[in-house]
Structure 1
Amino acid sequence: MGKDADLLIETLARHYGHSSFRPGQRELIEIILKRENALGLLATGGGKSLTYQLPSLILPQLTLVVTPLISLMIDQVQKLRQRGRRDATYINSTLRPEEIRQQLQEIRAGRYKLLYISPEKLQHTAVIRILKERGVSLVAIDEAHCISQWGHDFRTDYLRLPEVVEALGSPPVLAVTATATTEVSDEICRLFQISPNHLVKQELNRTNIAYDVLDVQSEREKQEHLLSLISGLHGSGIVYCSTRQAVEQVVACCREAGFTSVHGYHGGMEAMERALIQEQFLRNKLRVIIATNAFGLGIDKPDIRFVLHYHFPASLEAYVQEVGRIGRDGQPGYAGLLYLPEDVMIHQRLIAGETLSGDDVERFVQLVAAAGERGGRISFEELHGILGVGENQMRALFFYAERVGVVEQVVQIRESFQFHSCPVSLPDAVRQITGHLSNIQQSKQEKLGAIVSWLQQESCLRQQISGYFGEDGAADYDISCCSSCGLDRSFFCLPTQADVREPVEEWRLEQALAELLGEKMAIGGQK
């Protein structure tokens, strides 16, 4: 092990400039290099990416990183290339079909050793065939909690991954996540046959983050508190809202209050605008982002000083993930949540809107049977028009339809599903699919109940979070613990209000876009 240890430290120093590993990183890498499966529960900002990037430099064949986070793929590949690694690339829905074909040809030719890929792209047999021909030394599964129906961000595409790993020749699997309860981690280990001895867990508690829950009685009081916090808190931060409409309203409120270095971010914006806003935040051109949970996934900004929740998220897992973006540089940070009890109705409406009745499922099964007779293809538009469902719900319907024998050989092609339909008993199929979907909705309701209970209880917020994730004992902290234990908010604020009014020059989208595109073109010319 001495020679292997020297190799790991040498590789770490040469490629990352570090002389030592963070807790858990080395243990995971050593398990993987022994060609055994492992699960890493590493806190947000705890260095998950290094646990698969570094082995990719040592392992002989391709390292495959499965992640649903497109922004993470792009950001990490860009950073790797800036550090001189030209053997990293990604495949996801942002690429045109001809670009994907080109990437696959280059993968087959051995140009790349590290490939980031979205889970839905691994449903294509042609992709699997090329990856197997190339040879895969490691499958790293980021956001591994997505495989569990008890997880807060369950994705049916992840449930297909054990079959994908087997089709690739059963290479070692490294599953990593920041937010998994004991129940979820047990399920991940079962699905990927990970030994309990190969579960490596960092302490979830982030000692540099202070937790604050502020009770408010009205929307107006909430807005006043928010403006006061943004005005007073030091450094850059994120404000999370549960809906796009709320994002727009809060941004307007901030603008009326005179904040110029604030911008909104949500999934309804154009991709270019979202990328620009993210880039400007990373460069400290924007101080505060008002966003839905679409923002922050895969963002590598170590000096975020605060995260505020205008609405509480739908689960404690989501909360921990979002506030975990604070203070990755180890400096003190503030997590403030404005608690208005009736905000629970926002989540109740969202859950109700995702719930499909038995009649909905019956229409889906009938639609699939009819489509099977005319070639076995249904577009997203057709499904949405008939059932009113989004893409994730469509994938869930097809996943469970395949599991109960309604369809087989399901492939997502662009904005449609292609499949073969099978003769089945309609009532049995509807009952089974409805049962699976009901379990998912029940889990969401339970997680919503858990975070509401956390907000309403009066004991230590930090200890309650640790207990939820199966960590016992005292929860240490650096400066301040939480509002239940006593919190001095002034520590996280600027000494005077005069320091707040960020840049004198107002941030303008058009100017920022022109500057960014100029730099991107210059970088592109250096390839």
Structure 2
Amino acid sequence: MKTPQELLQNIDELLNTPGASPISSPVSVADLQDETADELLPALQKYFGYADFREGQREVVEKILKGENILAAFPTGYGKSLCYQLPALMLPGITVVVSPLISLMKDQVDALREQRIYAVALLNSSLSWEEYRAELERLERGEIKLLYIAPERFRSRRFLNLLNSHQISLFVIDEAHCISQWGHDFRPSYLALRDAIRELHPSSIALFTATATHGVRKDILEHLEIQPPQVFTRGIERLNLKFSVCEALIEAEKYALLDEYLQQREGKGIVYAGRRRETEEIASHLKKRGHRADFYHAGRTDVERKRVQDRFFDDGPEGLDLVVATNAFGMGIDKSDIRYIIHWTMTGTLEQYYQEAGRAGRDGETAHCILLYCPDDRGLHEWFVNESAPNKPDLLKLLKLIETFPSVGNLRMFAVEDLELSDFNADKIRVGISYLEKLGFLRRLYNVPSRLSVRTRLFESSLTEEIIDESQKVLLRHLRSQSELNVLDFCRGLNLRPDQLMEQLIDLQSAEYLRYWGTEDLVLIELLEDSDLFASMSADQMGFEDYLLSKNRQIDQIVFYSLAEGCRGRLVREYFGETIEADYRCGSCDLCDPNLRLVPLNKENDNANIQ
């Protein structure tokens, strides 16, 4: 068994040298059971520069090192990433981290490299083909310990096979609430992770979230079908954050409150608004008042968004003091000294509000979180829910459209763009397919290429070898006469399922009988039931009412928070399932501390401030 000093030495060999070869004597889980527990603090100090763990972090790290599954619900800014980054450096195999945002992955990878931890990589759509290929080669050489991956990658059979050739010590799902259809940020791409976990057989699974209620946590575990994990919760409460709500019935009141508040504040802040147009108008207003402000939303170009983000990080005279943004800004923004966050528009859920407000004060210093509540905001969110919610006419139309696409047996192949041409936006397509899959009408398989380039590497004698089976020999004979092929036509000619073709090609390429190239640009759907059966089902059978009821209850909760008469901190902690004392008061909200109250100015002053 290695000594603690030898364990750290082995980590150094791999992590602190760009392009290093794999460590000669990998750390084993057995090595980590006892002695490494004594070295966790030195490792934390050496590789991350922290003097000590925060409450709850060490326990999570120790459970992961012992190969146990965990679910950790820690507040935003509490240091969830450390809980998997540290064990990732100490475990024998690779740690896979699934994250929903490219910016979040890039920031974490850049931060680790700045600390001279080079055995990290990310694989997502931001990479060029050359960069992607280079990272895969590093993976194959054993130079990577920590691999960040976008959830969409797990729709690729080829990519999953590549991962399967490595030992996966830890499978991390960040923002795990994205798995749940009942959560505030459901992402259908996360649904592919259950099958990925089944295939990869990781030694342990770690789920992290900041904003999951008990019901959402239960839904996550039921979907993933994993052994009940150790659950760690570090209450939602952060006492350095001061929360205030002020009712503003008209826009003029909001502008007046904003101006009044900013006159007495220093430091950087974010103003969140619900519409793109509002971000532009508010930023323009602030610039006229002498603030260094700009707006950020998904409608701006990549270059423009990056410029806004870089200027927000710049603490010099050219930097921004304020960013006015939709919720497209902030997730993955690792800036610890944000002093205030103002919500111009009420969010649709209490989870979303606390996630966004929690981006303030990550340095532990006092920060302010202000919600400008308008009763009309509720109608906006109810409209969003009704527009995005699955409904029978849309799902029936989607299912019938899928039935019309090119087929091989009961399989259908299509590009998402084909559906978008039929008045479906990308979000409705993803949610609709996931809902039809949940109802048992279809099954989404791995994506497949529309076209392939194939180069065979064999002689006629190879076709008699026992190393490949008869079906593969038949396939090779057909491939020898074609260098470029249309996947649909080729599969129809051989009466072969496209997913089976891809599995055969992967096996034959691994055995070096051929090489193939092709972008997996088509969605592959297996139809399990037809649209006539769907048309005969009632709304109750489809669960639409339950979905709408759940979403409207979430709106109710953020309205209750906004109109609360008692302690706001108490309401939030109870919502997230915490047990608290009968006489509890947080002391950090405007209903506990009168000094935090914002008083609307009279309308004459409001109008004067707007002119």
Q: Give the alignment's TM-score, normalised by structure 1.
A: 0.87
Whole-Å separation in 1 of the counterparts to 2:81 and 2:311: 23
Which digits, 9 at most, give the CA deviation of each residue in 1:455-500, with x for residues without a partner? 12211111111111111325565xx521222332499xxxxxxxxx
Whole-Å separation in 1 of the counterparts to 2:522 and 2:574: 42
Counterpart check, 1:42 vs 2:92: no
* Closer/same/farther in 2, CA of residues 13 and 423 from structure 1, 3 Å limit: closer
Aligned to 2:30: none
Which digits, 9 at most, give the CA deviation of each residue in 1:310-366, with x for residues without a partner? 001110000110111111111111111111111222212222222343222122111
- 1:134 Cα deviation after fit: 1.9
Aligned to 1:202: 234
* Closer/same/farther in 2, CA of residues 5 and 262 from structure 1, 3 Å limit: same
Which digits, 9 at most, give the CA deviation of each residue in 1:93-133, with x for residues without a partner? 22234533432232122121111111111111111111110
Counterpart check, 1:380 vs 2:411: no
Which digits, 9 at most, give the CA deviation of each residue in 1:9-67, with x for residues without a partner? 12111101223211111111111111110011111111100011101110111100001
Aligned to 1:220: 252
Counterpart check, 1:258 vs 2:255: no
Aligned to 1:319: 353
- 1:171 Cα deviation after fit: 2.9
**Aligned alpha-carbon RMSD (Å):** 2.4
Which digits, 9 at most, give the CA deviation of each residue in 1:395-439, with x for residues without a partner? 222233445243442428789542144362313345499926664
List runs of 5+ in structure 2 lacking aligned partners: 1-32, 450-518, 599-611
Please list, as runs of the form range in 1=range in 2, the aligned pairs for 1:100-499 lying within 5 A after superposition.
100-192=132-224, 198-259=230-291, 261-284=292-315, 285-373=319-407, 376-389=412-425, 391-403=426-438, 404-411=440-447, 417-422=522-527, 424-429=529-534, 431=537, 435=542, 439-473=546-580, 477=586, 481-489=588-596
The SS at the match of 1:349 is helix
AA aligned to 1:406 is L
Whole-Å separation in 1 of the counterparts to 2:538 and 2:156: 26
* Closer/same/farther in 2, CA of residues 254 and 5 from structure 1, 3 Å limit: same
Aligned to 2:602: none
- 1:158 Cα deviation after fit: 1.8
Whole-Å separation in 1 of the counterparts to 2:165 and 2:538: 37
Whole-Å separation in 2 of the counterparts to 1:454 and 1:19: 37
Alignment check: 8 A CA contact 1:123 1:412 kept? no
Whole-Å separation in 1 of the counterparts to 2:357 and 2:266: 16
The SS at the match of 1:371 is coil
* Closer/same/farther in 2, CA of residues 421 and 6 from structure 1, 3 Å limit: closer
Whole-Å separation in 2 of the counterparts to 1:240 and 1:122: 32
Please list, as runs of the form range in 1=range in 2, the aligned pairs for 1:77-92 lying within 5 A after superposition.
77-92=109-124
Alignment check: 8 A CA contact 1:37 1:192 kept? no
Number of residue pairs matched?
487
The SS at the match of 1:207 is coil
The SS at the match of 1:488 is helix
Whole-Å separation in 2 of the counterparts to 1:145 and 1:271: 27
AA aligned to 2:62 is E
Whole-Å separation in 2 of the counterparts to 1:221 and 1:95: 45
Alignment check: 8 A CA contact 1:35 1:172 kept? yes
Whole-Å separation in 2 of the counterparts to 1:432 and 1:106: 53
The SS at the match of 1:175 is strand
Whole-Å separation in 2 of the counterparts to 1:401 and 1:353: 17
Whole-Å separation in 2 of the counterparts to 1:189 and 1:361: 27
- 1:154 Cα deviation after fit: 1.3
Whole-Å separation in 1 of the counterparts to 2:43 and 2:588: 38
* Closer/same/farther in 2, CA of residues 394 and 98 from structure 1, 3 Å limit: farther
Alignment check: 8 A CA contact 2:250 2:374 kept? yes
Whole-Å separation in 2 of the counterparts to 1:32 and 1:460: 37
* Closer/same/farther in 2, CA of residues 460 and 195 from structure 1, 3 Å limit: farther
Whole-Å separation in 1 of the counterparts to 2:443 and 2:232: 38
- 1:380 Cα deviation after fit: 3.1
Which digits, 9 at most, give the CA deviation of each residue in 1:262-299, with x for residues without a partner? 11111111112212211221223111110011111011
Alignment check: 8 A CA contact 1:380 1:415 kept? no
Aligned to 2:493: none
The SS at the match of 2:524 is strand
Alignment check: 8 A CA contact 1:147 1:188 kept? yes
The SS at the match of 1:89 is strand
- 1:304 Cα deviation after fit: 0.7
Aligned to 1:16: 48
AA aligned to 2:233 is K
* Closer/same/farther in 2, CA of residues 352 and 188 from structure 1, 3 Å limit: closer
Alignment check: 8 A CA contact 2:157 2:446 kept? no
Aligned to 1:519: none
Whole-Å separation in 2 of the counterparts to 1:323 and 1:304: 10
- 1:193 Cα deviation after fit: 5.6
Whole-Å separation in 2 of the counterparts to 1:350 and 1:416: 30
Whole-Å separation in 2 of the counterparts to 1:100 and 1:66: 17
| Bigger radius of gyration among the two | 2
- 1:197 Cα deviation after fit: 6.8
* Closer/same/farther in 2, CA of residues 412 and 69 from structure 1, 3 Å limit: farther
AA aligned to 2:266 is H
Whole-Å separation in 1 of the counterparts to 2:596 and 2:336: 21
- 1:440 Cα deviation after fit: 4.0
Aligned to 1:505: none
Whole-Å separation in 2 of the counterparts to 1:438 and 1:105: 49
* Closer/same/farther in 2, CA of residues 278 and 439 from structure 1, 3 Å limit: farther
Alignment check: 8 A CA contact 2:269 2:340 kept? yes
Alignment check: 8 A CA contact 2:184 2:352 kept? yes
The SS at the match of 2:370 is strand
Identity %: 34
Whole-Å separation in 2 of the counterparts to 1:408 and 1:187: 20
Whole-Å separation in 1 of the counterparts to 2:427 and 2:544: 12
The SS at the match of 1:187 is helix
AA aligned to 1:71 is S
